[in-house]
Amino acid sequence: MKKILAILVMFISLSGFSQYCSGEWITIDDKTGKKKSIVKLYKKDKRLYGKIIYLYPRKGREPNAVCKKCPDDRKNKPLVGLQIIRNCKWNGEEWEDGTIIDPENGKIYDVKIWLDEDNPDILHVRGYVGPFFRTQTWKRKK
């Protein structure tokens, strides 16, 4: 009986642990390996959302840059404060069925988000269209 209870407690804590991706995350540029931004992930009405809260300085970017190429309500909105992740729902293992926008090109992708199995300070963010995808690794801001 104690073994079953211990396994049940461990399972419940692991499934709750998997959802723990709320907070601030440092995004890393795929090409340069440099820090790009800090995104705050938060839950609202059992859905996960994310907005840019800080942009690391970068040559060629205006200090008050806006999303010029965004096709929807985010068009010409400041990048800082821009909601880039919308409407993800928890499936028991990962966040899915939401969208992510790339403010640099204005493209909107389906998204899946999950914590690294071995390191809860690493988040995998996969944007995809059909069978094509790209996965970024974000690091928890401490």
**pLDDT for 95-140, tens place per residue?**
999 999 999 999 999 999 999 999 999 999 999 999 999 999 999 9
CA-to-CA distance for 88 and 49, rounded, in angstroms?
7
Per-range mean pLDDT, top range of 3-7, 31-35, 53-57, 59-63: 53-57
The domain in which residue 53 lies consists of 2-140
Neighbours of 86 (CB within 10 A): 18
The answer to whether 136 and 28 are in contact (CB under 8 A) is: yes
Partner residues linked to 61 by β-bridges: none
Q: What are phi and psi of 47, to 5 degrees?
A: -115, 155
Q: What is the pLDDT of residue 13?
A: 37
Section 28-56 average pLDDT: 95
Whether the per-residue pLDDT at 10 is higher than 70: the answer is no
Q: Specify the CATH number for the domain of residue 82.
A: 2.40.128.520
Residue 126: exposure state from Cβ atoms within 10 A (0-12, 13-18, ≥19): middle
- Name the domain count of the chain: 1
Give pLDDT, residue 7.
36
- Read off the pLDDT of residues 45-93 as tens digits, 9 standing for 90 and up: 999 999 999 999 988 888 789 999 999 999 999 999 999 999 999 999 9
Q: Looking at residue 1, what is its pLDDT?
A: 46
**Range from 13-17, 30-34, 46-50 carrying the lowest mean pLDDT:** 13-17
Rounded to whole angstroms, the Cα distance separating 40 from 52 reads 6
Instruction: Write out the DSSP string of 57-87.
Output: --TT--TT-B-TT--STTTT-BSTT-EEEEE
Predicted TM-score (pTM) of this structure? 0.85
Residues 6+ apart with CB under 8 A from 66: 76, 77, 78, 79
